[in-house]
A = this chain, B = another copy of it.
């Protein structure tokens, strides 16, 4: 797959270019390219005629029309599924809202239905799904496709991968390689994989939904930590003895910048992110004040992420990022003030390339990442199927 990775990054290379780039002989590269053309990974394009004489090298491209990926986001309020090309173009989308408190089992059934619905929108004769990924709001053991804990969903120890496999038995998606990972991690992979330029390293994706977490990629690897909890930056303590967090501790970032804390503790909203957006749209003065204060704390968190990881780029995403300048401007101002105080340039911060689709597209990127890196096998159909409530 080294050739495919090379062409992902440098479309239009010839066989000869590829041989040099990956250090193989031209005849070996030609043989591999022939197989990849047959399998639908690559396409040849017409040669651009130049003034030079002799046979022109044929430029090779990843075929955008044949092989597809599915990516799914399971969040607190909805399931979002996309089909993408191998280079991240979104070809079909299905979003299903679900009510809070739904069981993992019911949610997995909805996820399976949404995956099949997106698949049904593709051209069955021409388009083939070669991998699918799921981003989950919690700690995930990717090798076991197992969710340890998703605090904002109230789930713990759920074998999501095996449950989803069971729901897909006897469907067109049975046997398609399946990968699961934390939602911030997959969003980070989306920024890494579907990027025609060389990605920053380390690359940090800060995901702010009901929970706050980060995906960190260092040296082409996800920093998952010793138990899958690395990047749980929503629980970096920003204020000793501060407000109580959903995790039980006090003064965590999530308790200072999360949607629930901005809305205030008096009322528990079933859909805090939607409610927050509504209040911002209405220009509610109390909410705008609370958002400014939370934005300042977001600036402190960004400063701390820069100190911890020295990322080449911090990408901000999630529904909280959609609130825009009213929340992000105070954060960037705080961050700039820290940089100025230290006489250093501020860290590079931008918003997510794929906006609302960042996690779903990132889940598709997870599948591409695992299929083009040899390190972890897919959760394949051999795995025993389980059914857990």
Residues of A in contact with B (beta carbons under 8 Å apart): 200-202, 218-219, 221, 223-240, 247-250, 296-297, 300, 303-305, 307-312, 338, 341-343
Contact = CB atoms under 8 A, between A and B. Distances in A.
Contact of A200 (B226, B297, B343): B226
A228 B232 CA distance: 23
Total identical chains: 2
A18 to B, nearest CB: 24
A308 B233 contact: yes
B237 A239 contact: no
Given A221-B219, A232-B310, A237 B303 contact: yes
The 6 closest A-B pairs by CB, nearest first: A225-B310, A226-B312, A230-B310, A248-B341, A229-B310, A235-B307
Contacts of A202: 223, 225-226, 230
Contacts of A235: 303, 307, 342
Given A219-B219, A225-B310, A240-B297, 10 more contacts: A200-B226, A202-B223, A202-B226, A230-B309, A237-B303, A237-B307, A239-B240, A248-B342, A304-B308, A308-B309
A307 B226 contact: no
Contacts of A238: 237-238, 240
A304 B236 contact: yes
Contacts of A226: 200-202, 310-312
17 contacts: A200-B226, A202-B223, A218-B223, A223-B309, A225-B311, A226-B312, A227-B310, A230-B308, A231-B310, A232-B308, A235-B342, A237-B238, A238-B238, A248-B343, A249-B303, A249-B341, A304-B308
A95 B216 CA distance: 40
Contact of A308 (B236, B247, B342): B236
Contacts of A228: 310
Contacts of A247: 341-342
A67 B89 CA distance: 56
A338 B219 contact: no
A86 B308 CA distance: 31
Contacts of A234: 307
A249 to B, nearest CB: 5
